[in-house]
Amino acid sequence: MRATLLSPILSAFLLLAAAFAPAHAQRSVLPGLTEGVEYRLIEGGKPYRAVPGKVEVAEVFGYWCPHCAHFAPMLEKWKASMPAHAQLVLVPAMFDPNDAYARLFFIAEGANAVNVTHDRIFRAIHQSGELPRKTTIPQLTAYYLRLPGVNPKAFTAAQKDEATLQAKAANAREFQMRSKIEGTPSLVIAGRYLVLGNSYQGLLDNASRILKAIAPAAKQPAAK
């Protein structure tokens, strides 16, 4: 009888303790910031494409996503204000492994053409209507090859490099899964911090706060 009475009380206490302890610990991960408010800690996370000496800011996006289209110019403007130790990388969302837009992004990346195609693809889908949100690889390839600034020879060479394209797709998919990305656009810093915010500007403001919080560690000189 006594055991029956104490069991639910003890269970309730343990549940409260378990709920409180992680939340309390999480608040000390980044000084001045609160997990669950500005960011979510990604256990076992790592950068999408680490660059020595740089803190990666990865945007997971989809060309078909209207929110990403709205966010893109804001992110580009914010990029100019990033600290020197930070680097922005673009990661196409891989919710659909056969996404033509993701594949063509990797091809454009291999042809060093993303700087001239990225904004154009968003506008072609969400403003001019030249491209549908769901398209085919041949249709999209033809559109890319018509864009000014795209080198057809380099683009075709990148398109034929199937091993590299498959590796990039697998890397993006793994990054998305371990970062627990549920929607787009999403920002992940250093592979460990999923940025939270109630608005697009809120995301960018919190990203700036996180970069500031981890800047000292990023700038520490190597031990002699």
**Local structure of residue 105 (DSSP, 8 states):** H
**Local structure of residue 15 (DSSP, 8 states):** H
Q: Which residue has the tokens 């945007």?
A: 59
> Do residues 202 and 187 touch, judged by C-beta distance below 8 A?
no
Closest among 96, 95, 121 to 107, alpha carbons compared: 121
CATH number for the domain spanning 118: value is: 3.40.30.10
Instruction: Give the total number of structural domains in the chain.
Output: 1
Q: Which residue has the tokens 């997971």?
A: 60
Residue 157 domain-assigned (yes or no): yes
The per-residue pLDDT string of the chain (224 residues; one tens digit each, 9 = 90 and over) reads 334 333 444 344 444 444 444 444 444 479 899 999 999 999 999 999 998 999 999 999 999 999 999 999 999 999 999 999 999 999 999 999 999 999 999 999 999 999 999 999 999 999 999 999 999 999 999 999 999 999 999 999 999 999 999 999 999 999 999 999 999 999 999 999 999 999 999 999 999 999 999 985 444 444 44
60 sits in which H/E element? strand 55-61
Q: What is the DSSP string of 120-188?
A: HHHHHHHTS-SS-SS--HHHHHHHHHHSTT--HHHHHHHHH-HHHHHHHHHHHHHHHHHTT--SSSEEE
Task: State the pTM of this model.
Answer: 0.83
Residue 4 domain-assigned (yes or no): no
Helix (H) and strand (E) counts in the chain? 8, 5
Residue span of the structural domain in which 51 resides: 35-217
Residue 26 domain-assigned (yes or no): no
Residue 181 domain-assigned (yes or no): yes
Three-state secondary structure call for residue 213? helix
Residue 58 domain-assigned (yes or no): yes
